[in-house]
Amino acid sequence: MKKIYHLADTHIGYSAYRKIDEATGLNQREVDTYEAFKQFVDYALKEKPDVILHAGDLFDSVRPTNRAISFVLSQIIRLSEAGIPFVVISGNHETPRLKETGNVLSLFEHIPHVHLVYENKYELVEIDDLKVHAVPHCDDIESEKKKIRSCDNNGFNIALLHASVLCAGLPTPRFMMHDFNEQVVNIDDLTNFDYIALGHFHRCTKVREDAYYAGSTERFSFNEVYGKRGFLEVRLRQDGGKEVISHELRTREMVDLEPIICSSLDEHEIKNAIKHRILECNPKEKVVRLKVQDIPTHIYHSLDFDDMKRLTRSAVHFEIKYEFRKNNESFSAEHPAFRSLHTEFDHFIRKYTIGAQINKTKLKELGLKYMQEWEKDSEEE
């Protein structure tokens, strides 16, 4: 029996939002991605798989920081010292557009038991009786993939790719990330493999009986809220039997709250709904998004941003996204006292004589500019 760990899309070096991890002084989300990868390595050292396959996007960018590189190095060395073979292909995130830039993965050459595939072409990596047919992100992934031939011998054959895949029954590429330089590859001709280990799509997915996306080890956007994060354990038996087990990693909670639709709510109800949603989700240590849809601008301007800031302070990130109601500038008698600051100011300038030398248009522009700056500041604080 062969025990293989398949992971992908660790995106080391990613960082987001403003929250700083107190222990390290580093961006909290950057630390989170480190933690997820370290958890995986800890697990591997304990369970000792025969091989680890990383299906690309080990790093988040072509030029990760020294800190990110040094972190990955320390983890790869732990695996190397334990004698666990580690195969990694370059994904679209770390592959440079220009070859002369050089690939960051090349730094890990010469570490025992580490196999790096980043040369823009198909390569075969052999580890005992296991053949890993590796296709990194490359300019012409379709033709590189065609070079793969499963060698029918006594050993095991695995294909390792980083792309959005197409296959029979899936007429359109369904595993797109919509990020830069994304490649699409058809896997219909990849038959007679014991397993196809895929990277790029961040949600753990069985594409075909023999082909899986491991998914990412952390969440990198609100599109990735759903589904567990972790890695796959693939057990291949000599008789051709196979078992795929998913292992979840502990990651930070990311929540996309049910949007508040303001259409049929009055000002009081809108304010209550926002407060209620915030308290209800218990934002402590979480990454949260709340959409407030169809909110009239004058109500938005009367929100208590200081109070909302206080209520969401314990979150790693709490994002409130406002979508404003259109055509709401015709204020009826319903809300005479709650016109927005903008409207009041505009009204003031038009109605009153402010002095013969004052350019009203200029004054209005300046006033609006300061109000916008102030609003922006109070949102950012």
**Residue sitting closest to Mn ion (CB):** 200
Between residues 138 and 290, which has the closer beta carbon with respect to Mn ion? 138
Non-local (6+) Cβ contacts of 197 within 8 A are 4, 6, 8, 53, 55, 158, 159, 160, 161, 212, 214, 232, 234
Between residues 215 and 296, which has the closer beta carbon with respect to Mn ion? 215
Between residues 179 and 379, which has the closer beta carbon with respect to Mn ion? 179
> CB 290 → Mn ion: shortest distance, Å?
28
Please report, as ranges, the residues that interact with Mn ion according to CB under 5 A: 57, 91-92, 200
Nearest 5°: phi and psi at 36? -65, -45
H or E, element range at 163: none
Non-local (6+) Cβ contacts of 367 within 8 A are 345, 349
Between residues 49 and 199, which has the closer beta carbon with respect to Mn ion? 199
- The CA-atom distances, in angstroms, between 92 and each of 33, 44, 98 are 18, 25, 13
Say whether 292 sits in a helix, a strand or coil.
Answer: strand
> CB 9 → Mn ion: shortest distance, Å?
6
> CB 216 → Mn ion: shortest distance, Å?
9
Between residues 200 and 317, which has the closer beta carbon with respect to Mn ion? 200
CB atoms within 10 A of CB 154: 6
In 146-191, where do the E strands start and end? 156-162, 164-166, 184-186
> CB 162 → Mn ion: shortest distance, Å?
6
> CB 245 → Mn ion: shortest distance, Å?
24
> CB 221 → Mn ion: shortest distance, Å?
13
Between residues 54 and 200, which has the closer beta carbon with respect to Mn ion? 200
Helix and strand numbers, DSSP H then E, in the chain = 8, 18
Which candidate, 301, 306, 312, 317, places its Cα nearest to that of 277? 312
